[in-house]
Amino acid sequence: MSLESIVDKVKSYPTEYVCVTGGEPLAQPAVFELMTRLCDLGLRVSTETSGAMDIGPVDARVSRVMDLKAPGSAESHRNLYSNIEHLDDGDQVKFVLADRQDYDWARLKIDEYRLSDRVAEVLMSPVHGELTPRDLAEWILEDGLSVRMQLQMHKYLWGEEPGH
């Protein structure tokens, strides 16, 4: 699908907000131009990224939701920590946590990078089927963390069904 056809498709919907996501959106060659064009249309635009690719070229008008992959994901070696310097108070950092070790690691990263002072929100989600939402909620409350807990809603709606 061409960039022009994507922009035309978006314009055909009565929406004020677009989230550019799916796989790793920053790996797509035209994504930066796409996000800029969507912003130029007056849309509120966000992107959800794994945090493994440079977010520096993302248009400043785009809100970034960036993952920091915890050790339990087996992807933490891909975290591009230099991205943190590009984050500001319009952005979010998301941790998806598999266990207490991941939670403790996330707490250390929140402190180390002063994430609660840097971004609009720090998000924490339990890995569906591995960490119970109740356990995560209790840890957050016990520690008085300034984070927003969320669930991986797509897992509740579609489970492991591909394409969602």
What CA–CA distance (Å, rounded) separates 162 from 36?
30
35-91 pLDDT, tens per residue? 999 999 999 999 999 999 999 999 999 999 999 999 999 999 999 999 999 999 999
Per-chain mean pLDDT for the chain: 94
Residue 162's pLDDT is 66
Q: pLDDT class for 109, splitting at 50, 70, 90? A: very high
Residue 72 makes CB contacts below 8 A (sequence gap 6+) with: 97, 98, 99, 101, 102, 127, 130
pLDDT at 107 exceeding the cut of 90? yes
| Residue with the two structure tokens 């939670």 | 103
What CA–CA distance (Å, rounded) separates 31 from 22?
12
CA dihedral of residues 69, 73, 78, 82 (deg, nearest 10): 10
Consecutive H or E run containing 37: helix 31-40
pLDDT at 164 exceeding the cut of 80? no
Tokens of 67: 């993952």
Q: pLDDT class for 163, splitting at 50, 70, 90? A: low
Residue 161's pLDDT is 72
